[in-house]
Structure 1
Amino acid sequence: MAAEAAGASASDNPPPAAEPGERTAETAAHPQGHVAAAEAQRHGNRWFALPVLFWLPETRLGFGATGGLHLDLRGAPRPSSVFVGAVYTLERQGSVDVAGEIYLPNGMLLSGRTRVVHFPDVFYGIGPHTTADDREKFTRRGAEAVVTAELPVLPNLRIGPRVDLRAEEIQDREPGGLLARGTVAGWDGYTAAAAGASATYDTRDSTFWPMRGTVLQAWYVYAPAALGRRHATFGRGVAEARHFVPLGHRRVLGLHAYGEAAHGEPPFTLLPKLGSTRFLRGIREGRYRDRVDWVTQAELRTPVVGRLGAAAFAAVGDVAPSLRALTLQSVKASGGAGLRWRLTEDGANIRVDVAASRLGVELYVLVLEAF
């Protein structure tokens, strides 16, 4: 699945609607659910409930259910949102996911995600030059909970603590592969407790479909070996910038830059990675991973008629073992176009994207935007 709300993908990070500054896969949607969404709008409620049918590079055909609720807390600066989803795929992948953002009247933002997942997946090795011949199959089974509490310190700026709890088992390792030989950190799973800080500067006019404004986000967490099991000490951090330029007639140009880095000995499933429903669409999620990654992308969004919209996008990025090792010699690129169908007046959309890279062409059917 690609689910901002339901997360059937192998992505390790919460969605933008639930946890700013991290990547994830979004939620696919079946058109049948439009009836529920439209009915909710007529009665003044801002929610949707959808049966989902989807197709992604990571999952192939999948199905399930997802729902979302937008609510206004009296005195809060923005609408709050909660998403719930459960999905299963014909690749025998499944997940149950709850994610949300709660804006309080004092300007505080509580955001988080909990998820349990069973996910047969593929590991291509580590580095920017891995090939299709390097692929080896494995299965992830685990649970996670990520919570951030950001308090306002200046206009549009929030800072606060972040807690990240994860437990994972790696099973069904391919005989003779790197994971089966135990040469990669996290080859048999881990349990980790990490804590750190998060900061967000946000001037967008909407969380789901911004027409103008900027959001700058950064977070870092540290996971000491003493608080976990089967892993060495490691840390992870992200810096992200999004800017939206109004072009008139409800057209908008979105610009996005993202960087992630890890130090110590993080499990391989937590290494920065390229390829997903948000980053370099057209490349399978986790196709490339290493200690550092970066992505820049642009997306032009335009209304078509009524609730229907369209978008065109392009992105470049890469991974490397360190900042010093980053070069332009192995940069990956992708691009594509898609349609949007507005589910709620707050701008939560179904999106259908077709994206291409040198690795091929992929189709995505999701809920919520890439950034």
Structure 2
Amino acid sequence: MMSSVLLLLAVLVAPPLPDGDDPSLLRPTDLLRTFDYPDRWRWIPEQNIPKGKLLKRIGVTSFFSPFIFFEGDVGTGGGFAITDIDFRNKRRTQLAHIWATYTSEGQERLSIAWQKWLAHSDHPGRGVLHGDRDFVGITLSHTRTLTSRFFGLGAETQLADEGSYSRETNSIGFGIQRSFPETGGNWVWHANAFLQTDDLASGKVTGALDVATEHQELFAEGDDFDALWIKAGIRHDTRDAQHLPYRGRSFGFSITGIPLVNDHKTGAVASLMGNWVHPVSPLFHDGGNPAHSHPPTDSIAAFIAISTTMGDVPFWALPSLGGDNILRGTIRGRWRDRSAWATGAEWRPWVLADGFPIFGEIRVERAGLALFAEAGSVADELGDLADAPVHSSVGFGLRFTFDRQALFRMDIGRSDEGDSNLSLSYGLPF
């Protein structure tokens, strides 16, 4: 939290960098004309691909973030995050990330991720063209969360129903995403497989009910859950980018299944989701030079999603609303059940469109705002969603980027229950 506050202060007080006409920053039309979908390729100029070890590239292609925090129920904690977007100096074809935290009460997290981009066109001396639709990746993760919440099933639960449980998870996973019929094409499929263990215990949230005693059957069904999880999907996607799109739409289907599990029944969650984004006239800038690799572009976006459960799925993996992506005005998992729907819209204006130095070569590329409104509900059966109470949230957020592939956000939302929620996240909510 503190590092985010300092970064935002730096954004507000630092003078803008001059808006030069360096030709290396312009998208290379001579190279892009050879691609079927040139607007879906990111241009990375040579000056943004420095050579050297991790520390030598800090602030350009590698980032280190230490942090210290205190929360009453989990104690004093600290940790660090290291991200290297040019892992092993492979000219931006590989990415690696490590995140580690530990608290005095024993809450802990360690995650390691590696990703390789499969759509890559290298032009030494000039730069790299990078497609963000095709990649493979591996993840290793261990978490022990002492303050997981569960309010019961259904859309009529109250804040007073808050229950607490601890959850320890270990997982190893592999994922792949490819576009077709050609690289960068309108159709995209993905598949992810995880071997994961989950063990539950009583929680540490002060004043909350104990899920282990209040929901004994659900707790037993979700405890000691060792399984193979597979998530796969396909979508039609015309957006100009995956991480930070400004125009286009996407509609797709995905399924998260549990084909193998120890001493439990199998099940799956099927989902449909569509989203749309469109540029709008800017209020705080002139739109920049459209020939640049990432000109400032204001936009509006909307999404709709629906999910339903087949077979048996542990309560902590059921469709849910709340958190940092859907119904951001309340805590993660505030509403859960076997089926859910949600919709929302967001206005995304850039306010400080020019780059801002922090120190040395480290700079914030751009800062902006977001205004959002969302609604949704949950129910036991898909057909019951139409009659379930609808919940909503509204709020605003701050956005800042180091690169078009690196957007960070802080959202503050308020729910129809009068609850509020602050979330810090990487990437857009939809």
Give the structure-2-normalised TM-score: 0.68
* Higher mean C-alpha deviation, range 318-327 or range 202-211: 202-211
- What's 1:159 paired with? 189
**Structure with the higher fraction of residues in helix conformation:** 2
Distance in 2 between residues matched to 1:325 and 1:195, nearest whole Å? 27
Which aligned pairs between 1:175-186 and structure 2 lie closer than 5 A?
177-179=213-215, 181-184=216-219, 186=221
Matched, 1:326 2:385: yes
Structure 2, unaligned runs of 5 or more:
15-46, 51-56, 121-132, 204-209, 283-296, 355-365
Distance in 1 between residues matched to 2:246 and 2:68, nearest whole Å? 29
Question: Given the alignment, which residue of 132, 142, 154 partners 2:169?
Answer: 142
Structure scoring higher RCO (CA < 8 A, sep ≥ 6) equals 1
Matched, 1:222 2:236: no
Question: Given the alignment, which residue of 93, 111, 122 partners 2:107?
Answer: 93
Structure 1, unaligned runs of 5 or more:
2-27
Which SS does the other structure have where 1:186 is aligned? helix
Distance in 2 between residues matched to 1:335 and 1:91, nearest whole Å? 34
- What's 1:48 paired with? 63
Question: Given the alignment, which residue of 202, 206, 210 partners 2:241?
Answer: 206
Distance in 2 between residues matched to 1:58 and 1:301, nearest whole Å? 35
Shift of residue 140 of structure 1?
Answer: 0.2
Shift of residue 345 of structure 1?
Answer: 2.0
Distance in 1 between residues matched to 2:71 and 2:273, nearest whole Å? 25
Shift of residue 55 of structure 1?
Answer: 9.1
Cα contact 2:191–2:232 (8 A) shared by 1: yes
Could you say what the CA RMSD is over the residues aligned between the two structures, in angstroms?
Answer: 3.7
Shift of residue 101 of structure 1?
Answer: 4.8
Distance in 1 between residues matched to 2:189 and 2:396, nearest whole Å? 35
Higher Rg:
2
Q: Cα 1:128–1:329, aligned 2, differ >3 Å: closer, same or farther? A: closer
Question: Given the alignment, which residue of 215, 222, 231 partners 2:264?
Answer: 231
- What's 1:361 paired with? 420
Q: Cα 1:57–1:109, aligned 2, differ >3 Å: closer, same or farther? A: farther
Matched, 1:30 2:4: yes
Matched, 1:70 2:44: no
Shift of residue 47 of structure 1?
Answer: 3.5
Shift of residue 64 of structure 1?
Answer: 2.8
Q: Counterpart amino acid of 2:262?
A: R
Q: Cα 1:57–1:293, aligned 2, differ >3 Å: closer, same or farther? A: farther
* Higher mean C-alpha deviation, range 276-285 or range 233-242: 233-242
Distance in 1 between residues matched to 2:320 and 2:298, nearest whole Å? 31
Same amino acid, percent of matched pairs: 24
Question: Given the alignment, which residue of 109, 115, 132 partners 2:159?
Answer: 132
- What's 1:109 paired with? 135
Question: Given the alignment, which residue of 275, 281, 285 partners 2:332?
Answer: 285
Distance in 2 between residues matched to 1:346 and 1:72, nearest whole Å? 18
Shift of residue 320 of structure 1?
Answer: 0.9
